[in-house]
Amino acid sequence: MTPSGLVVVDKPAGITSHDVVARVRRLAGTRKVGHAGTLDPMATGVLVLGVDRATRLLGHLTLTDKRYVATIRLGVATTTDDAEGEVVATRPVDGLTEAAVRASLASFVGEIDQVPSAVSAIKVDGKRSYARVRDGEEVDLPARRVTIHALGVTGVDLPSVEVEVDCSSGTYIRAIARDLGTALGVGGHLTALRRTAVGPFGIESAHTLEALAHDVTISPIADAARAAFPVYDLSAEDAAHVRVGRTLDVRLDTLTAVFAPDGEFLALYEPRGGVARPVAVFV
């Protein structure tokens, strides 16, 4: 029987996140595999997959923060805000300075309203935005509030700019490239993207598909829960209540993984209405 847990993959460029899921399904011998936080085909890096019961953790993992390294090309705007799109405008960058680039990027730090790329996977009336664009429709997505915790400039060799971004889930790095180009008056797009962390899962713990072909490394669901959420150890009486989905008269500050006295991961609970209520039970 395939164990429940997480697989942290270092996704290569040129394949979709769904392609990675299909590969791991074959390697793990189960259809019950899903992923948290889609990576575009051109992007590489951390892709967190859930196996069996752990797929139910994924919807909660998408609420975590993420870290990226990226390369932005200024002076060229594309239809997709990245290198896979068609060029729609070019402008010279001769007048740009490194100081101007750094100052503009600094303005993105904090809570900002960001308009996602039209070719994102956001659903519009039940259909993916990118599918509507592919079918020739014009899509105007509303701005979303996202948080850029930190945005460091690691290299400027105009027209290229290399950055590191710590951000909330839902942030589009392509949109940062686009908006930087707009702010500087020259246009811009993303040419390289690597995700180096999703919540507590970093690139150092990720496995290549080649390595997984030799040994499918599945982190047990209990270990994954302890890594991703605050932990509350239950009494035997409260553990029995959790097994049948009852509320608990315990104090929690946020979404929390609760464990039986023997260390078994039982559920995710959250504080609501003065008590702890179940969000997802895994037993």
Kindly state the average pLDDT of the residues 56-80.
91
Does residue 88 surpass a pLDDT of 70?
Answer: yes
Reduce the DSSP state of residue 276 to 3 states and report it: strand
Cα(29)–Cα(32) distance, integer angstroms: 9
User: What's this model's pTM, rounded to 2 decimal places?
Assistant: 0.88
Encode pLDDT of 25-51 as tens digits: 999 999 999 998 889 889 999 999 999
Q: For the chain, give the longest Cα–Cα distance.
A: 70
Round to the nearest angstrom and report the end-to-end CA distance of the chain: 16
The angle formed by the CA atoms of residues 177, 179 and 185, to the nearest 5 degrees, is 105
Assign domain 66-184 one CATH number from 3.40.30.10, 3.30.2350.10, 1.10.10.10, 3.30.310.10. Answer: 3.30.2350.10
40 is catalytic: yes
Residue 121 reports pLDDT greater than 80: no
From the list 10, 19, 40, 215, the catalytic residue is 40
Pick the CATH number of 5-64+200-221 from 1.10.1240.10, 3.30.2350.10, 3.30.460.80, 3.40.50.620: 3.30.2350.10
Q: Tell me if residue 144 falls in helix, strand or coil.
A: strand
* Per-domain boundaries in the chain: 5-64+200-221, 66-184, 229-281
What whole-number distance in Å separates Cα of residue 115 and Cα of residue 239?
Answer: 44
Q: Is the pLDDT of residue 1 over 70?
A: no
* Amino acid letter, residue 64: T
265 contacts 225 by C-beta, under 8 angstroms: yes
- What gap in Å lies between CA 178 and CA 187, rounded to an integer? 6
Say if residues 60 and 268 touch (Cβ distance below 8 Å): yes
- Class at the top of the CATH hierarchy for domain 229-281: mainly beta
Q: What are the pLDDT digits (tens) for 192-238?
A: 999 999 989 999 999 999 999 999 999 999 998 998 899 999 999 99
**Ranges 118-122, 185-189, 269-273: which has the least confidence:** 118-122
pLDDT at 155 over 90: yes
More confident residue, 6 or 59: 6
Give me the chain's average pLDDT, please.
92
Give residue 170's pLDDT band: very low, low, confident or very high (50, 70, 90). Answer: confident
What would the two tokens of residue 152 be?
């460091």
Per-residue confidence (pLDDT) for residue 124, from 0 to 100: 67
- Residue 74's contacts (CB-CB under 8 Å, 6 or more residues apart) are 93, 96, 101, 158, 159, 160, 161, 180, 181, 184, 186, 187, 188
Q: Which tokens in the block code for residue 74? A: 């200024």
Q: Check if the beta carbon of residue 101 is closer than 8 Å to that of residue 189.
A: no
pLDDT confidence band for 61 (50 / 70 / 90) = confident
